Copies of this chain bind each other. A is one copy, B any other.
Amino acid sequence: MYMPAQETSSRVPKYIAIRDAIAHEIESGQWSTNTKLASERVLMEQFATTRVAVREALLALEMDGLIYRLDRRGWFVRAPRIIYRPQSTKSFNQYVTEQGGVPSTELISAELVQATAWDATHLKVNVGDDIYSMWRRRSINGRPAVVEHLRINASLFPQFLEQNLEDSITILMAEHYQRQLTRAHISLYPTVLSEQQAKALHVNVGSMGLYICRTNCDQNGVITDVDQEYWLHDVLDLHFEASE
């Protein structure tokens, strides 16, 4: 597999040039969502190349989430993933709406419970302290996108369960409790969805998901809540700006 390095002005592998050309057209907005790509035969002619190179290019584009395949019907431009900036304090409703999607939220359950060892470590409270435990499902354009489990330090938010918990919690905490959230710490990784999460998201058990755990603080650095999110794997494109 190793190829010795050569300082030669060789050509780009054909399939990468095709991939790049089509990616550029999609990313620059020349083709709208669900547009059908030219057939493989037409692409072969257009790029004066082989079917193998065209196939490799299309598979690379599929892998990058730019196109999808419908059996016997060809290749189509995918709806762009929702850009999610975990460092931002924008609410789900805000960033989905800004990107042309229709967000919705269902409360699955909300209750006052006693902090377990895990809760105590993550919320910096004592085992047995009161916390709120909430599950919600959030959808984009009617398609379930994420199930989330929030654990909230109850001592900071009296009468919390009497609020409308299908609205933005960030906005509720800011406007009703004068706690302006900042994201203290984020951990994330791809993971297999458990049965419970898969069912809530209407996908097969064993489907891939993206796990995001956020710890939020208020303006004084007090930990307000820990939010575990289980996303479908193909919904988000996460963006970070690294400020050094």
Q: Which residues of A line the B interface, CB within 8 A?
A: 1-3, 5-12, 16-17, 19-21, 23-24, 27-28, 56, 59-60, 62-65, 81, 86-87, 89, 106-114, 116-119, 121, 130, 133, 137, 159, 161-162, 165, 182-197, 200, 208-211, 233-234, 236-244
Contact = CB atoms under 8 A, between A and B. Distances in A.
Contacts of A8: 111-112
A112 B191 contact: no
Given A6-B161, A193-B63, A186 B242 contact: yes
Contacts of A165: 5
A208 B233 contact: yes
A20 B133 CA distance: 13
A7 B107 contact: no
A117 B244 contact: no
Nearest to A189: B237
A8 B77 CA distance: 49
21 contacts: A1-B200, A3-B109, A5-B107, A5-B110, A5-B162, A7-B161, A9-B112, A16-B116, A56-B196, A62-B192, A63-B197, A65-B191, A87-B244, A186-B238, A186-B241, A187-B237, A188-B238, A188-B240, A189-B234, A208-B233, A243-B243
A118 B233 contact: no
This chain: how many copies in the complex? 2
**A6, A130, A188: residue with the most chain B Cβ atoms closer than 10 Å:** A188
**A28, A63, A107, A119: residue with the most chain B Cβ atoms closer than 10 Å:** A63
A117 B9 contact: no
B241 A185 contact: yes
B192 A63 contact: yes
Nearest to A208: B208
A65 to B, nearest CB: 6
